[in-house]
A and B are shown apart, each in its own frame.
Chain A
Amino acid sequence: MSANRTNGAEAPVALVNGRVIDPAAQIDAPGGVLSAGRRIVAAGPDIRTDTIPAEARVIDVGGAVIAPGLVDMRAALGEPGHEHKETLATASRAALAGGITAIACLPNTIPPLDDAPAIEFIARRARENKGVKVFPYATVTRGAEGRDLTEIGLLREAGAVAFTDGTRAVADPLVMRRALAYAKGFGALIVQHPEEPRLSPSGVMNAGEIATRLGLSGIAPQAEVMMIERDLRLVEMTGARYHAAHISTAESVRVIAAAKARGLPVTCDTAPPYFALTEVDVGDYKTFARLSPPLRRFEDRIAIAEGVADGTIDAVASDHQPQDEDAKRLPFAHAAPGMIGLETLLAITLQLHHQNDMPLPAIVRRLSTDPAAILGLPTGNLSPGTPADITVFDPDSPWKIEADRLKSKSRNTLFDGRPVMGRAIMTVVDGRILHEEGLCS
């Protein structure tokens, strides 16, 4: 990065004729963004064709939204160990096409990201790709096995953005208590996959009528909320920062809202499947619908959408889990859980704007400002001096999601064939335009 040609001496770039939305500065106004080199110089209504420096390169965005780059706080990127499903390079192209400028990647790799060299490997591979910014999570426990704590302090110094066992819950209450207490000493954030694994050890979809009809073993929705409730007690004991990942039930929303009202340092996110799909989408044993947590009932879907709208749910993450054909062409119970989501994150989240009247600044906040703040990243806003990570999107542009045309290496999306509105037309990372509608450099 040190030898990068974008070292500040370059001519300024001005994006003009847009609707600038920066929730951090409470800006929602016609205007533009001026950047120079890798940093933002100014943003807002004062950036107009007639106010910018003569030497600037001017790009007219034609009335589209200019927002801080999207920050995806949860995605599996395939490297190391699952390169046949996704690589940092393919994930980066997919993310940029979806308007994402930064990703926090899961540590459930082979080997897992549980020591400093592994974290440094990800940082180096991401630099080589010169694409989307990648911030690795490290595991809370060695090997994500739920027993021994990792070197939280050293891992943080090596660049771990936060700590999570990723797709696995930290199930042992004593281990969780120690993780929270220890992390607090470093101001580190613990991110939990909230699911009590012992309640439904063989479960593969939401427990209820459909699971009964299909003869599939159910996962009780209570497995999620009881883990969150337990963890909240431990947060009270330790005072540590805690984040519940991809919550999926109405009860979880209720319990987290109550914890926030009591002033606990708690945040949470969800992913598009949980406000756009339900257990009915499992249909005829569709393995693309095998997710963790599982797709829930209609009532849960509504509660999750409301939680995103009212801010109880702080962030929407892609929860990108690429799976190759062999991992999905199996009987439902044996199929690997997960769905891709990088390229569809923005469009599906914008449904909350089009169908539920959620204001665009609130959408930008959930997709960029708040996830960046939760992870402590120097992005997610358009303040002068911050890195020029910018997403330009047209919220009203209609298109159809076609799995075969997505840039991810895997194709496992239940949104295939879905008509949507809104797409990224330009993605800028550190002042470099890395994606333009129809083009990807």
Chain B
Amino acid sequence: MGPPFQTATSLAQPHLLAIEDLSAGEISLILDTADGHVDAIRARESRRSRLAGQTVINLFFENSTRTRTSFELAAKRLGAEVVNMDVAVSSIKKGETLIDTAMTLNAMHPDALVVRHPDSGSVKLLARKVAASVINGGDGSHEHPTQALLDALTIRRRKGRLDGLTVTICGDILHSRVARSNIHLLTIMGARVRAVAPPTLLPGALDRLGVEVFTDMTAGLAGADIVMMLRLQQERMQGSYVPSTREYFHFFGLTYEKLAAAKPDALILHPGPMNRGVEIDSAVADDISRSAILDQVELGVAVRMACLELLLNGRNISPGGPEQGPVEENR
């Protein structure tokens, strides 16, 4: 948010792979850019010239209608051509490797690839092999950077800042890429981050990431400004991490009763889709005075527009140095 970043129109790096790679300045740049897009979307103002003629491929090795649709809308609102490739059901079954897929796509000369993959590190592997800018749409249990950015934008718009806030992340942190990205982003931006989960769903050495760890939810929620709930990822679990969803809800489900420990104006976030009655009580989820869950969906499109625009602008920088102002029709 500092002055040096007000005029920047691109990111220094070619890809957006992990929040861990970003500086506070870059995060602020993305959030500021997204803020502008939110207003434009609401005013129905067209920004289709910004990425006109550029091609974005959504490459999803794992199903996710929400994230894919959000990226698709973002690219289209900037005027890019969008192709969706649902790889989960095609090439992998034919024995094609990730590198093969990357080489094939490379030959098609896309400008950006949005990649989701069930394995940690796979998006980085692919990014090394392609000329396009790669955006990590979620890799295994590693990172989901645009989700953390949209969470941050949601918080910033509601609370006016990120630094100094206490954010409690609750639930299946072990399997959650959303949690890892949020932990990195929030600590980089000066928030205090807590994690609450049963010990079986806490990864090792989590405290080394600058997080305060709790296994009692009420204690973890005490005085929190933000309550970030995570989905219990039953499909990722081999064997039993929790004895039953009933027991899980009793100790780790968000109810009004437990929420009372947080600040009275604490905001509730959830990356969706929600398991109602498992990690969150339905009434709490639907309480528009407390829950920002639909804001997150709306802001997600603006954040992804910002990421695409900033990355693709960066690709058009001449070797002589960064150009000022967006390069709109240049391909």
Contacts and interface: CB of A to CB of B under 8 A. Distances in A.
Interface of A: 201-202, 207-209, 211-218, 284-285, 326, 329-334
Contact of B204 (A212, A214, A284): A212
Interface in B116-169: 117, 119-122, 124-125, 139-143
Contact of B98 (A212, A214, A284, A331): A331
Contact of B206 (A212, A284, A330): A212
A129 B177 CA distance: 51
A213 B20 CA distance: 9
A281 to B, nearest CB: 15
A161 B11 CA distance: 60
Nearest to B184: A213
Contacts of A207: 204
A329 B126 CA distance: 10
A217 B121 contact: no
A333 B120 contact: yes
Interface in B161-210: 177, 180, 203-206, 208-209
A209 B205 contact: yes
A207 B238 CA distance: 17
A382 B205 CA distance: 50
A333 B120 CA distance: 8
B140 A333 contact: yes
Contacts, number: 72
B25 to A, nearest CB: 22
B120 A215 contact: yes
A331 B120 contact: yes
B97 interface: yes
A318 B142 CA distance: 32
B209 A214 contact: no
27 contacts: A211-B204, A212-B204, A212-B206, A213-B20, A213-B180, A214-B121, A215-B120, A215-B121, A215-B139, A215-B140, A215-B177, A216-B121, A216-B140, A216-B141, A216-B142, A218-B204, A285-B121, A285-B124, A326-B97, A329-B97, A331-B117, A331-B119, A331-B121, A331-B125, A332-B120, A333-B140, A334-B119
A218 B206 CA distance: 13
A330 B98 CA distance: 7
Given A202-B238, A208-B205, A212-B205, A284 B124 contact: yes
B142 A212 contact: no
B128 to A, nearest CB: 9
Contact of B125 (A213, A214, A285): A285
Interface centre among B99, B119, B177, by most chain A C-beta atoms within 10 angstroms, is B119
A211 B238 CA distance: 18
Interface centre among A209, A213, A215, A332, by most chain B C-beta atoms within 10 angstroms, is A215
Given A212-B205, A215-B142, A329-B97, 13 more contacts: A212-B203, A215-B139, A215-B141, A217-B141, A285-B125, A330-B98, A330-B99, A330-B125, A331-B117, A331-B125, A332-B119, A333-B120, A333-B121
A329 B122 CA distance: 10
Contacts of A212: 180, 203-206, 208-209
Nearest to A332: B121
Contacts of A285: 120-121, 124-125
A212 B176 CA distance: 10
A201 B239 CA distance: 10
Interface string B1-32: 00000000000000000001000000000000
Contacts of B140: 215-216, 331, 333
A406 B207 CA distance: 42
A208 B205 CA distance: 6
B139 A213 contact: no
Nearest to B140: A215
Contacts of B208: 209, 212
A332 B97 CA distance: 13
Contacts of B177: 215
Nearest to A215: B142
B203 A211 contact: yes
B209 A209 contact: yes
B122 A201 contact: no
A215 B184 CA distance: 13
Contacts of A284: 121, 124
Nearest to A286: B121
Contacts of B143: 215
Nearest to A198: B239
Contacts of B180: 212-213, 215
B142 A330 contact: no
Contact of A213 (B97, B209, B238): B209
A211 B209 CA distance: 12
Nearest to B17: A284
A431 to B, nearest CB: 48
Closest 5 CB pairs of A and B: A215-B142, A285-B121, A331-B119, A215-B141, A209-B205
Contacts of B98: 330-331
Given A207-B204, A329-B99, A214 B120 contact: yes
A216 B120 contact: yes
Contacts of B120: 214-216, 285, 331-333
Contacts of A216: 120-121, 140-142
A285 B128 CA distance: 12
Contacts of B205: 208-209, 212
Interface string B67-110: 00000000000000000000000000000011100000000000
A208 B142 contact: no
Contacts of B238: 201-202
A434 to B, nearest CB: 38
A331 B62 CA distance: 14
Contacts of A213: 20, 180, 209
B185 to A, nearest CB: 14
Interface centre among A207, A216, A326, by most chain B C-beta atoms within 10 angstroms, is A216
A7 to B, nearest CB: 52
B142 to A, nearest CB: 3
A354 to B, nearest CB: 33
